[in-house]
Amino acid sequence: MKTSQFYNLIASLVCILAVACKTNPDVPTKIDVDKDIIVTIYATTDNGGVTDTIPPCLLKETAHVSVLLHYPCDKGVTMPFNISDTTKYAEITSNNLYKRIAIAIDGQVVSTPVVKTKLDNGACSVVLDDTQVAKLFPNVNIK
């Protein structure tokens, strides 16, 4: 075999192995959990750069979390869940378009997203940091 053909063969094998061994950064690791959480949603106000909640809450209910999602390139863990009162949730998101709301889980505000669209299917998710994951799911190890 000629030297150039040998190097082409080696280069081809390296490329094949690189493609075969590549992990897809868009595919999350699924962590099964089985926990009911209390979700509370509040309107907010900006108090000198600090986001404060405005009582009373706009919605409070128990939701079930069955899985956490950890994306390889993200520092946090995504916790998807569904709001069962889809009518109330759609009203809240519709009334707060382009405003910040606060989402509390088990009494702790974990996210203050800006609402960008009306959500009428009940879908919701928050990204939790390591401390929040440890507090809410003490048996889950992300590392």
The DSSP line for the chain is --HHHHHHHHHHHHHHHHHHH---TTSPEEEEEEEEEEEEEEEEEEETTEEEEEEEEEEEEEEEEEEEEE-TT-SSEEEEEE-S-HHHHHHHHHHTTTSBEEEEETTEEEE-PBP-S---S-EEEEEE-HHHHHHH-TT----
**What is the per-residue pLDDT across 22-36, written as a single tens digit (0 to 9) for each?**
455 678 999 999 999
**What is the per-residue pLDDT across 119-132, written as a single tens digit (0 to 9) for each?**
999 999 999 999 99
Is pTM beyond 0.75 here?
yes
Residues of the chain with pLDDT under 70: 1-25, 143
Note the pLDDT of residue 73: 85
